[in-house]
């Protein structure tokens, strides 16, 4: 299965922002390019989040990591184009993901997808799972991540370059902290927070 998307790499910011606007009705600001990745701030009234994103190697979809103040915990999701606005609500369906960085071990992750009438862009989001931080660390040390999306009735495998991931991650994390309160009660934390990645591995080169 090829998730239907037609756009160029230069349009990542606009595509990702438009997809997010369905959910937040917010605006984007402070875009910055880091290799194949882009970091932005999304604002909806007083609320702000930061996001990094990159397109699939064949422009199949956009992979994103979002940071939510005040804890700056992260979520990974994939944005894809329906091709046209949904005519009816799309009920939530499970999506099983297999995430592999370079030749490392695969991570088997549960996810889901859903949509509302009028949406032009869809999301595949990850469920809560214990290996989230381990995946981000593997991505910071790798050059490519491959994700297989199993919708039950069809599958799609998409590759994303990790060139610029570390720099984008650190900028988004720093910006998120600047919007955040000093402390967050443990009861409000959904995932263990990943500290900034120290540096870009030297082996990472543009694909």
Domain boundaries, the chain: 9-185
Across the range 67-72, mean pLDDT stands at 88
Separation of CA 26 from chain center: 17
Nearest to 65 by CA among 81, 77, 48: 77
**Phi, psi torsion values for 101, nearest 5 degrees:** -100, 120
- Residue 141 near residue 197 (C-beta atoms within 8 A): no
Residue 14 burial (CB count, 10 A) = 12
Which residue's entry shows tokens 């543009």?
206
- Judged against a pLDDT cut of 90, whether residue 25 lies above it is answered with no
Instruction: Please give the mean pLDDT across all residues of the chain.
Output: 78
* Token pair 């862009």 in the structure block, residue: 121
Global confidence as pTM: 0.74
* pLDDT at residue 8, rounded to an integer: 27
- pLDDT at residue number 189: 53
Res. 190: pLDDT tops 70: no
Instruction: Work out the percent of the chain whose per-residue pLDDT is above 70.
Output: 74
Which of the listed CATH numbers 3.40.50.620, 3.40.50.720, 2.60.40.1880, 3.40.50.300 matches domain 9-185?
A: 2.60.40.1880
């Amino acid at each position: 299965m090829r998730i239907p998307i037609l756009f160029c790499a230069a349009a990542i910011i606009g595509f990702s922002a438009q997809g997010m606007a369905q959910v937040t009705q917010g605006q984007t600001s402070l875009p910055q390019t880091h290799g194949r990745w882009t970091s932005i701030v999304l604002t909806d009234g007083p609320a702000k989040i930061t996001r990094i994103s990159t397109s699939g190697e064949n422009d199949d979809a956009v992979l994103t990591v979002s940071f939510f103040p005040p804890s700056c915990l992260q979520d990974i999701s994939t944005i894809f184009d329906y091709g046209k606005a949904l005519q009816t609500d799309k009920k939530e369906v499970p999506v099983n993901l297999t995430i592999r960085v370079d030749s490392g071990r695969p991570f088997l992750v549960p996810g889901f997808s859903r949509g509302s009438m009028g949406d032009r862009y869809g999301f595949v989001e990850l469920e809560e799972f214990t290996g989230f931080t381990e995946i981000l660390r593997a991505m910071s040390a790798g050059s490519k991540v491959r994700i297989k999306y199993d919708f039950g009735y069809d599958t799609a495998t998409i590759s994303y370059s990790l060139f610029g991931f570390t720099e984008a991650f650190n900028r988004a994390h720093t910006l998120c902290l600047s919007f955040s309160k000093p402390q967050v009660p443990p009861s409000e934390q959904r995932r263990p927070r990943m500290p900034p990645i120290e540096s870009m591995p030297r082996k990472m080169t543009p694909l």
